[in-house]
Amino acid sequence: MHRYRSSVLRRAVITAKLTYAASAWWGFISEADPQRLEAIIRRGKRTDLCSEDHPTLAELVERADDELFDKVLIFYDLTKLFVCITCL
């Protein structure tokens, strides 16, 4: 059981490190950089650190970007609601 927990923790740490603030830097990297970063995930799959169905880095970045955008929209809607309530 301990080996399973450490494996899950390692996967989570690697994924978090690869995707940290990815929405900010992803558009500024060169064409070769995504391939190098994807190599880390491929190596993780080869060594059983990542499962075979682990998403690609591009998928992880896109998912993080979508989540960030959704949160911004929710915050914007709440701000409009707050402004409307305070105007009454």
pLDDT in the model for residue 81: 60
- Distance, in Å, from the CA atom of 36 to the CA atom of 42, rounded to the nearest integer, reads 10
How many CA atoms are closer than 13 Å to the CA of 83, on its beta-carbon side? 6
pLDDT (0 to 100) of residue 82? 63
| pLDDT per position as a tens digit, 43-81 | 888 888 778 888 888 898 898 888 888 887 777 776 666
- What is the per-residue pLDDT across 3-14, written as a single tens digit (0 to 9) for each? 666 777 877 888
Q: What is the pLDDT of residue 45?
A: 85
pTM value is 0.65
Q: Answer yes or no: are the C-beta atoms of 61 and 23 closer than 8 Å.
A: yes
The residues spanned by each domain of the chain are 2-87
In this predicted structure, the answer to whether residue 28 has a pLDDT above a threshold of 80 is yes
Nearest to 50 by CA among 58, 59, 41, 37: 41
Question: Which has the minimum average pLDDT: 15-19, 44-48, 67-71, 84-88?
Answer: 84-88
